[in-house]
Amino acid sequence: MKPDTFMVDQNRQISIGGVALAYLAEKYGTPLYVLDYETIVHRIKDYQDALSELTPPGQAFYAGKAFLCQAMAGLLEQHQMGLDVVSGGELYTALQAGFNPERIMFHGNVKTREEIAYALTAHVGHIVCDSMDELERIEEEAARIGCQAPVLLRITPGIEAHTHEFIRTGQFDSKFGFGLADGLADRAVKRALTLEHVLLKGFHAHIGSQILEEDPFILNAETLLRYSLGWNQSHGWWPEVLNIGGGFGVRYQPGDHPPRLTTVVSAINELLHELTPKELAVPRIFMEPGRSIIAEAGVTLYRVLVTKSVPGGKRYISVDGGMGDNIRPALYQAEYRAAIDGKVGQDNMETVTVAGRYCETGDVLLKDIALSQAAVDDLLVVFDTGAYNYSMASNYNRVPRPAVVLVHQGQDYLWVARESYQDLVRADSPYAMTLAEFR
Ligand SMILES: Cc1ncc(COP(=O)(O)O)c(C=O)c1O
């Protein structure tokens, strides 16, 4: 909903982590991503406490795709979290920050040979395998390196989570993983068990994102368990680990009611102990929360640069950021809440559409929302932007990406510097060189 340390003073100005947002905007410029340390740590502890109630204790792996930089990896390491990475770049970021590779889960539905080799030589704790082709590639790379790859097979359990269609991944026709219905998962288990350099550790299934119900998560764990029982019968093999993915929703809007983690975890604990045959060890449960750790910790600050009313009465305010720093409204019609700093709680609300600065009609951050009357130079604060904003940011229109600042107990810490124009051209070849290639 908002960072845990959100406060409004008598001047209607907002502070987070004991730091005034107006001060941060002056110091670092806008747009600016601000993250609250306390909120991140509270959410991490929620997962760790809930999963420690399981026997055997579970483990949470933060999904780096939601937001990752070296400092974030360092914070996660400090709190002994696991980390789910989906590319060589995320893996590199974590390793550079000194993250323990044993607590890294290497994901991705397409991994290059180089990425697989990188993960294996870095000794990551688990690799999640997504396809038959990849299974063979993992075997070949592990054989070449001379190691055994600890593998989870990604299963598509066919659970329909009620969320936006584009971020639903658990259906049978999903591009992700091995289907249960078409027998692919069964073939994958069979094949993995014959491979000399693959050590099959268990299964993974992620059913979607921003899920607001509890039942799909419980059903997901149950599906993995029941299929495991079948494979135990047919192949005499039993998983050490069941990874039920991420996807816990957050409260972007007042009507959003996130699922209760403790309810889900205790239901899964019951299932585990009811269904696991006495002679076998109860599998460990892994979870991969991204959004529910970081979304509410983040706000984005924008400067209002234009206000205008168009024929028909529609009122726009335009800000110095947009789809380059937050693609989610354009990509998923995601909705956010916002406030004008210094005017919080004023009566004179108006309905406005907040437009971005990018050259796309669809670059609209907030559609028809009630805001205090905004003027040029006001500071617009958009809430719950910690997840999938910075990590999905682009340089569209050659706009440098904003800085990321962490706040805690009245102090601010620069986590990621604002990109400069020089950064934008760093990887470009000068024109003369390009021309030489055509001669
Ligand atoms: C495999 C996997 N794990 C974890 C996550 C994190 O999901 P969320 O941020 O919704 O918790 C995702 C997100 O798409 C994912 O694809």
- Is there an atom of ligand 1 within 6 Å of 245 CB? yes
Residue with CA closest to ligand 1 atom 1: 206
Residue-level pLDDT at 431:
77
- Is there an atom of ligand 1 within 6 Å of 170 CB? no
Residue-level pLDDT at 164:
55
Q: How far does residue 163's CA lie from ligand 1's centre (Å)? A: 13
Question: Long-range contacts made by residues 165-169, C-beta under 8 angstroms, separation at least 24?
Answer: 166/331, 166/332, 167/208, 167/209, 167/210, 167/332, 168/207, 168/208, 169/206, 169/207, 169/208, 169/209
Residue-level pLDDT at 169:
55
Under a CB-based contact definition with an 8 Å cutoff, are residues 180 and 158 in contact? yes
- Is there an atom of ligand 1 within 6 Å of 209 CB? yes
Neighbours of 4 (CB within 10 A): 17
- Does the annotation flag 388 for ligand binding? yes
Q: How far does residue 323's CA lie from ligand 1's centre (Å)? A: 21
- Torsion sign across C-alpha atoms 64, 66, 70, 76: negative
- Is there an atom of ligand 1 within 6 Å of 288 CB? yes
- Does the annotation flag 37 for ligand binding? no
Question: Long-range contacts made by residues 134-137, C-beta under 8 angstroms, separation at least 24?
Answer: 135/188, 135/191, 135/192, 135/195, 135/198, 137/111, 137/113
Atom of ligand 1 nearest to the CA of 247: 10
- Is there an atom of ligand 1 within 6 Å of 292 CB? yes
Residue-level pLDDT at 176:
84
Neighbours of 398 (CB within 10 A): 9
Residue-level pLDDT at 59:
98
Residue with CA closest to ligand 1 atom 4: 246
- Is there an atom of ligand 1 within 6 Å of 107 CB? yes
Atom of ligand 1 nearest to the CA of 387: 9
User: To 5 degrees, how large is the angle CA 216–CA 284–CA 57?
Assistant: 105
Among residues 278, 271, 277, which one has the least CA distance to residue 244?
Answer: 271
- Does the annotation flag 289 for ligand binding? yes
- Does the annotation flag 252 for ligand binding? no
Q: How far does residue 161's CA lie from ligand 1's centre (Å)? A: 13
Output the tens digit of pLDDT for each of the chain's 439 residues.
899 999 999 999 999 999 999 999 999 999 999 999 999 999 999 999 999 999 999 999 999 999 999 999 999 999 999 999 999 999 999 999 999 999 999 999 999 999 999 999 999 999 999 999 999 999 999 999 999 999 999 999 888 776 654 555 555 677 888 998 888 999 999 999 999 999 999 999 999 999 999 999 999 999 999 999 999 999 999 999 999 999 999 999 999 999 999 999 999 999 999 999 999 999 999 999 999 999 999 999 999 999 999 888 899 999 999 999 999 999 999 999 999 999 999 988 999 999 999 999 999 999 999 999 999 999 999 999 999 999 999 999 999 999 999 999 999 999 999 999 999 999 998 877 666 666 6
Residue with CA closest to ligand 1 atom 5: 246
- Is there an atom of ligand 1 within 6 Å of 155 CB? no
- Does the annotation flag 290 for ligand binding? yes
- Is there an atom of ligand 1 within 6 Å of 290 CB? yes
Report pTM: 0.96
| Catalytic residue ranges | 359
Q: What is d(CA 74, CA 109) in angstroms, rounded to the nearest whole number?
A: 26
Query: Domains (ranges, CATH) in the chain?
Result: 7-35+299-425 (2.40.37.10), 37-294 (3.20.20.10)
Among residues 270, 272, 160, which one has the least CA distance to residue 215?
Answer: 160
Q: How far does residue 271's CA lie from ligand 1's centre (Å)? A: 23
- Does the annotation flag 311 for ligand binding? no
Atom of ligand 1 nearest to the CA of 388: 9
